């Protein structure tokens, strides 16, 4: 791996189509800008058209020679995912890079998606699973093999897949649900790599995490915390991320490495190299043992196909 890697070391991406979810701000925007700076045609996928328009304006100012567009996508809705893929198929015959980045973190009260999934599990994991499944024909249509980058988190290290209560209907705590969703994301990346090799799909599945990147994910789609404990937890998280974390631009580097670098290996996992992987330069990230459990992965895969009504095997 190249020391102190940055996006200027990535190959040129002219002629390639990249889809980045959650791209109107934070890590997603920084990732989209990095890909666009190397010549990729970038599709910003997000829920809010007004934010999409503002992000496009910023992108075009940052990369005046680049090509970008916004398309509406709500990962908390299986119908929105199906509509997005249908609309995208009318615009392009292939997708070369898919970055599954969008997510929510630590919703104080249990919420559900339109399909009645717990909000974090539905948005962070089941949505990307369904999106990747529906995009597989476009991903397999590229000449050089598409890259699918799934953004995990340090939270995956202490995550557990609770098959007896996946939707947290019996017991909900904000960060237990978040940790489950991010471990599931990591399992998605690893199992997709295995499935691609087994079936001969020209797909390169790689995972990355941003360390402690100071973005607005902690308040995304979440009501203002009402209890004193919740407010203190949010305040402590903000202070910790400010003191020991890094910017969205630096947090996006492992994601961009996974999406573009020739050195990034299939089934790999990348993050920062600093203390606790919270900040620093791009390196191999620590893999939680649970993410490598083949029986767990296969069980989660089958459950995910059933819940989303999509097939990714």
Over residues 43-69, the pLDDT tens digits come to 999 999 999 999 999 999 999 999 999
Told to judge if 270 belongs to the known catalytic residues of this protein, a careful annotator would answer no
Q: Domain for residue 282, yes or no? A: yes
Q: Domain for residue 212, yes or no? A: yes
Q: How many other C-beta atoms are found inside a 10 Å radius of the C-beta of residue 175?
A: 15
What is d(CA 290, CA 295) in angstroms, rounded to the nearest whole number?
10
Of the candidates 29, 125, 178, 269, the residue annotated as catalytic is 178
Q: Domain for residue 269, yes or no? A: yes
- The residue assigned the tokens 């559900």 is 112
What's the pLDDT score for residue 62? 93
Q: Could you tell me the residue range of the domain that residue 278 belongs to?
A: 7-307
What's the pLDDT score for residue 208? 98
Q: Domain for residue 1, yes or no? A: no
Q: Is 237 exposed, middle or buried (0-12, 13-18, 19+ CB in 10 A)?
A: middle
Q: Domain for residue 188, yes or no? A: yes
Q: Domain for residue 259, yes or no? A: yes
Domain count, the chain: 1
Contacts of 142 (CB under 8 A, 6+ apart): 16, 94, 95, 96, 202
What's the pLDDT score for residue 223? 47
Q: Domain for residue 2, yes or no? A: no
The angle subtended at Cα 208 by Cα 207 and Cα 213, nearest 5°, is: 155
Q: Domain for residue 56, yes or no? A: yes
Residues forming a β-bridge with 43: 19, 69
Calculate the dihedral angle through the C-alpha atoms of 264, 268, 272, 274, rounding to the nearest 10 degrees: -120
Task: Give the CATH number for residue 206.
Answer: 3.40.50.720
What's the pLDDT score for residue 246? 78
Q: How many other C-beta atoms are found inside a 10 Å radius of the C-beta of residue 137?
A: 13
What's the pLDDT score for residue 31? 98
The angle subtended at Cα 30 by Cα 28 and Cα 35, nearest 5°, is: 95
Q: Cα 50 to the chain's mean position, in Å?
A: 21
Calculate the dihedral angle through the C-alpha atoms of 115, 119, 125, 126, rounding to the nearest 10 degrees: -10
Report whether 70 contacts 56 (CB < 8 A): yes
Residue stretches of the chain with pLDDT short of 50: 218-224, 243-244
Strands 269-272 and 282-284: antiparallel
């Amino acid at each position: 791996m190249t020391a102190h890697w940055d996006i200027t070391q990535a190959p040129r991406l002219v002629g390639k189509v990249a889809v980045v979810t959650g791209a109107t701000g934070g890590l997603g925007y920084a990732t989209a800008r990095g890909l666009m700076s190397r010549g990729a045609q970038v599709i910003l996928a997000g829920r809010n058209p007004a934010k999409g328009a503002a992000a496009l304006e910023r992108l075009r100012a940052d990369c005046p020679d680049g090509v970008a567009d916004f398309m509406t996508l709500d990962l908390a809705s299986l119908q929105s995912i199906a509509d997005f893929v249908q609309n995208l198929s009318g615009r392009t015959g292939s997708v070369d890079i898919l970055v599954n980045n969008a997510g929510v973190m630590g919703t104080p009260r249990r919420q559900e998606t339109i399909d009645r999934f717990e909000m974090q599990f539905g948005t962070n994991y089941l949505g990307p699973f369904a999106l990747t499944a529906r995009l597989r024909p476009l991903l397999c249509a590229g000449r050089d093999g598409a890259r699918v980058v799934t953004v995990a988190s340090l939270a995956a290290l202490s995550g557990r897949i609770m098959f007896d209560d996946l939707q947290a209907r019996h017991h909900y705590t904000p960060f237990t649900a978040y940790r489950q969703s991010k471990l599931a994301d990591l399992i998605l990346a690893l199992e997709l790599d295995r499935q691609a090799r087994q079936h001969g799909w020209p797909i390169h599945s790689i995972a990355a995490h941003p360390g402690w990147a100071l973005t607005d994910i902690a308040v995304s789609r979440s009501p203002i915390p009402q209890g004193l404990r919740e407010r203190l937890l949010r305040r402590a998280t903000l202070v910790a991320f400010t003191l020991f974390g890094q910017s969205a631009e630096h947090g996006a580097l492992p994601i961009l490495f996974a999406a573009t670098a020739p050195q990034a290996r299939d089934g790999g996992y990348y993050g920062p190299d600093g203390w606790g992987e919270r900040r620093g330069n791009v390196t191999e990230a620590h893999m939680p043992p649970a993410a490598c459990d083949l029986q767990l992965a296969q069980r989660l895969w089958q459950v995910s196909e059933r819940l989303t009504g999509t097939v990714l095997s």
